[in-house]
Structure 1
Amino acid sequence: MEVDRAARVEAALAGECFSVDFVGDAHRQVYRQVLKLREDANISMHYSPYSPFVQSSCVGKTRCVLEMSTLGVYICYCSLAGKDSSAYPPRTEFLADRLAESFTELEMVLYLNAWVLVLAVALEKGTSAVEWKDRQLPGSNSGIAQAVREKWEELIASHPAKGYEEDKRDRDLVNGEIMNDALERVQELLDGDHDDEDMDMDRMDSDSQGELVNLRVIFVFDEARGLTLPSDTPFSQLRRALRVFFVWTAYFALLLDTTAKVSNILPRKSDEDSSRALKIGISLLPPIYYLPTLQLNMPKPGLSVVEYSAPSTWMKYGRPVWAARMAREGQSEVVLRTKLLPWAQQKLMGGEISDEFAKDGKMTESQAMALLAAATGLQVCPRCPLAEKLAASHMNLVLRVTRDRSRVFVALPAEPILSEAAAGLLRSEKVKQNALMHMEAACLAGYATGGPRGEFVAKFILAAAVWDLAKAKQSGGWYLRPIKVRDFFRTLLVNNKRDITTKEAFSKVVSGLPAGGLLFFHSFVVVGKVPDTALLCRCFAGGLAIMYQADNNMPGANLILPIWTPQGMTCCVVSVKNQSHKGWWEGPSLEFLKSEFTKLKVGTRIPIVIVLMSMREPAVAAPNSWILWDGEDKRYLQLTCYGLDGNYGYLSMEVRGLLRNILVTRPDPLKDAEDIEAEWIKKMLPYQYEEVPDFVVSLA
């Protein structure tokens, strides 16, 4: 009973996500992808005019597809979710049960025909695409699914399979002769519909013959794995039936699922069940997986630092599900701490926190990858079985699907609530250690890309310093709160050191740190430009640190930590180098680093703090050798910290040992990626800011 109640609550919450206003233009971007696939579909080259749409749960793919109705697209929707599932929209009982029992191509053709016939009646009555969509959602009494089921049964009764010879039936099905009358009827009605201006705006360029693809009807099969279990017969027959639409370009089909098991609904040629497809070498259309719906609740200008750093502000950034749940549960800090954050931890861990995890920090590989990805921007590029767990159970995003569908790249976005959830769990030393053990194994197996020059280790160390401070100064149960810059650097560079000389040197150097400076971040984002004050404000508002590749002809990324001061925004620049030789800090590299960040405009009285972080031990042993510069440039504070042994006393010996083992070169996630794939990956790791925001955030 308790499980049923929880499922009902989750379903109700999902329904509320569909009732709030749709933000952004993701539906237009996905529609462009569908148009391109529809243009490319060719009966002599491709097996069937359909494509899987695979992505994590709670990303918004179903809502995005349904929103294409605002562009004049008629969505013929069927959910194959489990009967006890909390999915929304729920299982389309009238159709899903019968589809699971459809084992012939003829039955599937007649299923499609039933939809076309019911749609024709609606079009004759002047039903718009949005009205058609609304009538298929829960709460509508229109009974479209029931009407389709009744028409389908009627067609099956009038077209018995035994009435067709095998060869003749195949020819009739492929040529669409069974459906021609209904298709022509709908085509005439669609051609006469010129009310929707958005359709013309969002069509792709004309094809080689100068004709526009007038894609107006999409058959949607949500939770598509329901077509493959317990056998793949319904799925196999459906995609054969869809071949009738090669000559009817107004139609296409999308198979939606949260699983990354792409090879089930888009098999490799070696797994193709059609001997004809193998013989003539026809291929399948690629999957859709790029869905830019994150960070919808963007920071608003005019908020104070207190308002920006309040959990009620930043916990709803990201997917619509967070804001919808806050609207349902309330925005008080008690509610957020006791209800929203534990729910985020469950989504991150793929279910209830187990007793073994709570006691000993024991976790699965996919849980470890989910935790570390949320906290450090880790990329994971596993083969499909692990990708399925990551994308379906742990709210990862699918970033790339290889051509042979055998490998899927995933990562978690830097959503503050997920990063907060991960940080809360990783405050435990046992959890940190066990997660890094899985990370080490995953790196050796090629599953994870920790950063080719030790960026993962550097990000982990910087985040762990914040966690360490949060342990001692936790307020009200929140794990990450704005902390003083001086406290952060003391933890990072001096913590637990007894050397008086080191402490005195540190005090001298940090005396010029900005007064009242606050540092606050959950995770890391990728940017493609030297950050300006507006970008720093925006990242501060979202609790985000920055990864930036400086144009200094040196390997390695720079990690930028936004710092708020009463006088304005500044930053700490951590230049990460993991060279095999010692003495890398000598010579012209310092000048390159300094000149690059003079482009960042800050107040003349506010210094930029530059920290050179080497993952190797220095050659010199002087007690104050960690100080690189002192007094050369009064506008900058420049500190140097060395390898794992000499610094980071807040990390245990076991954690430092594991981090040292991870400091090896990793595979490049962009290797062999096509240009368009590379661009998508860059944009989704997890965000990439290319332009200055339209507004300047005021943090006065």
Structure 2
Amino acid sequence: MIYKVPHSSMQGFTMVNQPQHASGLDPEAQEVQWQRFLGFHKQLVDPKKSFQDFLDVFGFPCSQFQVKKVEEHLDGVEKLSYRVESHGIISFDMVWCGLLNRNATFDSVQLLWDTDSDPDLEARISHLAFSLKYPTLSQGFPSTPHEQRVKALDSSTYQEAEALFVTTALTSDQKDEVAQWERFLELNPALVNPKESFKDLLDTFELEAVKKHLDNLQELCQTSKQPKLKFGITSDPSPISQLAFSQQHPRLSRDREPPYQQRIEALDSSTTEEAEALFPHQPKSETLQSEIVAEGYHRTYLNAKDIVFPILKTLQDYAGAWLPATHVAPYTALYERLLLAILHVVADFFDAQSTMPTSDRMEEWISHSFPQASQDGDPLFWLSVQNKMKTLPMTSENAALHLKDALDRMKSSTRFLEPTNLRLLLAIDEASQLLYSSALLYKETFFRIFRRTLAKIPSKNGVFSILADTTSRVTNFNPPAHLDRSHRPGKIGRKLFAPIYQIPTFDINVSDPPTTWQQLQSAFRLLRYGSPFFGVYTDVGQHKQNPDGIVQDLIHFALEKLLGSTELPTAASSLTDPQAIALLGSTIQPQLYGASHLNAELISSHAAQCMYIDPSRQILTSEYPSQITFSSAANQYLASDEAMLIRCIEVLTFTRRQGHIGPGDIGELVSRIILVRAMQETMKKNQPVGPQKPEDCIMPFGYSVRLSDFLHTLTGLDPKETNLGSIDPANKTKLLDQGQLFWNHFVCIEHTPNSEDLFSHLHRGAAVHCKPNQFGFDQLFPIYLKPTHQNQLNKKHITLCGIQVQNQKQTESLQIDSHKWTPEFAKIDLQEENPYLVLYFSLRAVEKQVIPIPTNSKITAAKAKRRASLAFYSLDAFPFLPEDLKKTLMKLIDAHPSILLLHDKSPAHTKDFVKKGSPLVFSAPNKKRKK
């Protein structure tokens, strides 16, 4: 059986030089696209018929839709022509039409356009050619893989190509898709464009969800055939509107559950845009996301040995060491009635249990006290505590005695546990809420009330409590005596147990290293790095949501975490200092010194990792480790608006003026900004085609680009025609033709890397800022030399780009130090002697110049022939940097700690105050000085 999507019959031509205008189609709009089509397809056997066939496959009376589809296709062909026009001497249209006319095989096109090292480009070519050569098959089989498209293009006849799509040759998933398409046609016989509607459903929902939709639609159709007494005026219209809304606006229905009247308004809208305007405040699928997150909490707990057991051991030690004379009372405390209720309910539960193994008793406790996916409402334990509180008196003169009795009951009921100092662990999440004042007359904080309650518990009763929060304010409940306003002379200060922040969940979901080029770029693999949330969400979401939806939701969520807000700033001026540092932290990783207040804010609200809290709790250090989910979100956000990046750099400049960034870091920071911006621009110009399989889904601004395209962005020149220094022709060809880059953020390292390390950097999509005093280079990023037709990853294909940054132009030093910019001098052990690249930045230079790095007598000819190099003088040497951005970067380069510079935007009288208040620091006004 052949699966064919019906299309409108071919119409005749009434004019010699152009196709007939379809009914309802704007003649002028069609003429524009026809002329564009003719520009690329004059050499087709019958260009008019090809154009009309392609137009007809979208044939319903909506001129905007038809023209848009043709325009999108021709845009793709035009971009392709720019991409391959430099290869060979045969014109693009001759090769292109040769493929479409069956005069050239796909292999010959690969050879002529030199595409063997670029699978994404080959997929783009086959997609565009297949769509035009076989428009009906293309619409009927939108998920046709690249290999099958190539076979169809190389077929000698249409029948031979069509035979490739016989149902019996399809996979089980494809057969299922075909079956649902046929059901869809049967249930929607009057739709003007069933192909597009079905494709929208498949793009939005998993196939199982589409099947369920069709089941409900089929049931509705059967019900509608019943007598009017059973269906009609008395029928509930809600299911009808819900089904219609889901099919007419699948993306809107996925993202929300609107009421009946709002669904009707959306269905009555004349355009999709008009319907979308009815839903301005809910841009994403909150319900679906909540379901995925809830299910994720029931996944298997990983690495308990390194996460849970050390923390429990620490808490047990703390509980054993606590003495009221030396330590502040344990730091989570609850109202007396609530605490009494908890203790009694715990005792009631374990007293009621029959004799059974300890593990079984604890399993029952977990089921009783923790939320369960299969359970509606709160856990039974929570309800029991609420009910018990109702039976306890509001106040009691014997509160301490009641508390002791409850503790004795709890301890007795849990005697089956192994001997331990810890019997009951109370934990409060979001504990910073305890710092808000209560409604009492003296406005005491809840924290002080709670602490007084726990202070009544004898120290040997096995009760301990913890506060869990992301804000460092919870580490400062017990400040040093000289900072404590409540401290009284003569009283001994009491200690506070050290905060616990060492929770090693980072990278816990990381799978085995990638083995193929496709696996390397797979979003589902990359989402496993860093926070376990993203990996768990991906695992659960694959059964509930389409791959693109998962990636989009998680990237949006990552951006919200970085910005600390669900309301994304719309103007650069509204971007706060911590938000700006968070965006830069996840992309270029600036190192902040002595900025504990800022680090605290980054940890509590902007997804930074807490790395150190000193014993006095006065020093706090944060970091943004290598996590491509956050860096992809930040890159996408910054690449969309130059003003946002400028605002981030301004904040960095202000931070430098405060002395929180060292002077030696500035040039290197600027070079990282330049390199990341170049990657953003290169990615925007070389976006890959859509994935054919879920596992091929990629991250936004987290995919590979060719080294030659990156160099073209960096210099504005064709790399093949550019003098790259001492590298010989064979190595230059290998480096430019095979070199692939896969990184979108920098991470600071503390060692000298080798091939193994560079391979690991490639896996994470990371470039590196070298350790202090690293020989040779300040920055490095891996280059992978991808051989033709080889998708298996191999460490021997790793090489590098090393970057050296100087603040002054030093032409003589350039040649004198040339031998230092080699892997050998830098002590970087590469497995193979591959060609590599060196970039030299002299950012303060006045004269714009881009030149190769000369060699000297200390670098051998054998080493020199492997090195490609370029030296950039001045920010003006980078053509992709706009003027405003260059001016902002120069202010950062010139920044240094200065009180007066902190008042850069202050009024004149404030600046005058600073000058007068700092005698001798600033030059006297109107005093002439020799230069």
TM-score normalised over the length of structure 2: 0.54
Q: How many Å separate the matches in 1 of 2:309 and 2:528?
A: 24
8 Å Cα contact 1:613/1:642 also seen in 2? yes
Match of 1:483 in 2: 705
Q: Which has the larger radius of gyration?
A: 2
Match of 2:832 in 1: 603
Equivalent residue for 2:299, pick from 2, 17, 20: 20
Q: How many Å separate the matches in 2 of 1:320 and 1:607?
A: 38
Task: Confirm whether residue 560 of structure 1 aligns to residue 787 of structure 2.
Answer: no
Match of 2:643 in 1: 430
Deviation string for 1:415-457 (max 9, x for gaps)?
Answer: 2121111111111322221221122123323566797363322
- Relative to structure 1, the CA distance from residue 644 to residue 281 in structure 2 (aligned partners, 3 Å threshold; closer, same or farther) is farther
Alignment of 1:594-673 (within 5 A): 594-595=823-824, 597=826, 599-604=828-833, 606-617=834-845, 624=851, 626-627=853-854, 631=861, 633-634=863-864, 636-637=866-867, 639-645=869-875, 647-663=877-893
Equivalent residue for 1:535, pick from 745, 752, 757: 757
The secondary structure found in structure 2 opposite 1:489 is helix
The residue type paired with residue 517 of structure 1 is: G
Equivalent residue for 2:422, pick from 182, 205, 215: 215
Which moves more between the two structures, 466-475 or 629-638? 629-638
The sequence identity of aligned pairs, in percent, is 20
The offset of 1:389, in angstroms, is 4.9
8 Å Cα contact 1:644/1:660 also seen in 2? no
Match of 1:525 in 2: 747
8 Å Cα contact 1:397/1:412 also seen in 2? yes
The offset of 1:469, in angstroms, is 0.6
The residue type paired with residue 519 of structure 2 is: E
The secondary structure found in structure 1 opposite 2:326 is coil
- Relative to structure 1, the CA distance from residue 581 to residue 371 in structure 2 (aligned partners, 3 Å threshold; closer, same or farther) is same
- Relative to structure 1, the CA distance from residue 649 to residue 130 in structure 2 (aligned partners, 3 Å threshold; closer, same or farther) is farther
8 Å Cα contact 1:616/1:644 also seen in 2? yes
Task: Confirm whether residue 458 of structure 1 aligns to residue 671 of structure 2.
Answer: yes
- Relative to structure 1, the CA distance from residue 237 to residue 570 in structure 2 (aligned partners, 3 Å threshold; closer, same or farther) is same
Q: How many Å separate the matches in 2 of 1:266 and 1:281?
A: 9
The residue type paired with residue 607 of structure 1 is: P
The secondary structure found in structure 1 opposite 2:782 is strand
Q: How many Å separate the matches in 2 of 1:41 and 1:4?
A: 50
Match of 2:436 in 1: 229
Q: How many Å separate the matches in 1 of 2:660 and 2:638?
A: 21
The secondary structure found in structure 2 opposite 1:279 is coil
The secondary structure found in structure 1 opposite 2:830 is coil
Match of 1:293 in 2: 505
Name the structure with the higher helix share: 2
Q: How many Å separate the matches in 2 of 1:254 and 1:510?
A: 61
Equivalent residue for 1:193, pick from 417, 433, 436: 417
Equivalent residue for 2:407, pick from 162, 176, 183: 183
The offset of 1:638, in angstroms, is 5.1
Match of 2:716 in 1: 495
Alignment of 1:86-97 (within 5 A): none
The secondary structure found in structure 1 opposite 2:886 is helix
The offset of 1:616, in angstroms, is 4.5
8 Å Cα contact 1:396/1:410 also seen in 2? yes
Deviation string for 1:167-199 (max 9, x for gaps)?
Answer: xx8xxx5xxx654444345445555424xxxxx
Runs of 5+ unmatched residues, structure 2: 1-257, 259-280, 439-443, 691-699, 788-793, 898-931
The offset of 1:213, in angstroms, is 6.5
Equivalent residue for 1:445, pick from 658, 679, 704: 658
Name the structure with the higher strand share: 1
Which moves more between the two structures, 311-320 or 134-143? 134-143
Equivalent residue for 1:148, pick from 360, 385, 399: 385
The secondary structure found in structure 1 opposite 2:537 is helix
The secondary structure found in structure 2 opposite 1:595 is coil
TM-score normalised over the length of structure 1: 0.70
Deviation string for 1:251-299 (max 9, x for gaps)?
Answer: 3211112334336756565665765799321132232223221223324
Q: How many Å separate the matches in 2 of 1:565 and 1:279?
A: 71
The offset of 1:514, in angstroms, is 6.4
In the alignment of these two chains, the number of paired residues is 577
8 Å Cα contact 1:482/1:520 also seen in 2? yes
8 Å Cα contact 1:377/1:414 also seen in 2? no
Match of 1:120 in 2: 347
8 Å Cα contact 2:814/2:853 also seen in 1? no
- Relative to structure 1, the CA distance from residue 22 to residue 608 in structure 2 (aligned partners, 3 Å threshold; closer, same or farther) is farther
8 Å Cα contact 1:378/1:456 also seen in 2? yes
The secondary structure found in structure 2 opposite 1:318 is coil
Q: How many Å separate the matches in 2 of 1:112 and 1:546?
A: 51
Deviation string for 1:211-231 (max 9, x for gaps)?
Answer: x97334311011213322344
8 Å Cα contact 2:656/2:896 also seen in 1? yes
The offset of 1:483, in angstroms, is 1.0
- Relative to structure 1, the CA distance from residue 226 to residue 624 in structure 2 (aligned partners, 3 Å threshold; closer, same or farther) is closer
8 Å Cα contact 2:850/2:872 also seen in 1? no
Task: Confirm whether residue 243 of structure 1 aligns to residue 455 of structure 2.
Answer: yes
8 Å Cα contact 2:759/2:798 also seen in 1? no
- Relative to structure 1, the CA distance from residue 625 to residue 575 in structure 2 (aligned partners, 3 Å threshold; closer, same or farther) is closer
Q: How many Å separate the matches in 2 of 1:653 and 1:506?
A: 33
Task: Confirm whether residue 418 of structure 1 aligns to residue 630 of structure 2.
Answer: yes
Q: How many Å separate the matches in 2 of 1:273 and 1:239?
A: 18
Deviation string for 1:141-164 (max 9, x for gaps)?
Answer: 65222333444454545x62xx37
Q: How many Å separate the matches in 2 of 1:506 and 1:655?
A: 33
Q: How many Å separate the matches in 1 of 2:327 and 2:344?
A: 27
The residue type paired with residue 115 of structure 1 is: I
8 Å Cα contact 1:627/1:640 also seen in 2? no
- Relative to structure 1, the CA distance from residue 332 to residue 572 in structure 2 (aligned partners, 3 Å threshold; closer, same or farther) is farther
The secondary structure found in structure 1 opposite 2:520 is helix
8 Å Cα contact 2:725/2:852 also seen in 1? no
8 Å Cα contact 1:219/1:253 also seen in 2? yes
- Higher relative contact order (CA closer than 8 Å, sequence separation 6+): 1
RMSD value over aligned CA atoms? 4.3
- Relative to structure 1, the CA distance from residue 504 to residue 543 in structure 2 (aligned partners, 3 Å threshold; closer, same or farther) is closer
Task: Confirm whether residue 282 of structure 1 aligns to residue 519 of structure 2.
Answer: no
Deviation string for 1:642-662 (max 9, x for gaps)?
Answer: 454353222223323333333
The secondary structure found in structure 2 opposite 1:345 is helix
Deviation string for 1:632-689 (max 9, x for gaps)?
Answer: 515741525345435322222332333333347999xxxxxxxxxxxxxxxxxxxxxx
The secondary structure found in structure 2 opposite 1:247 is coil
The offset of 1:374, in angstroms, is 1.5
The offset of 1:505, in angstroms, is 8.1
8 Å Cα contact 1:272/1:278 also seen in 2? no
Runs of 5+ unmatched residues, structure 1: 52-77, 79-98, 100-107, 195-211, 668-700
The residue type paired with residue 49 of structure 1 is: P
The secondary structure found in structure 1 opposite 2:875 is coil
The offset of 1:466, in angstroms, is 0.6
Match of 1:136 in 2: 369
Match of 1:308 in 2: 520
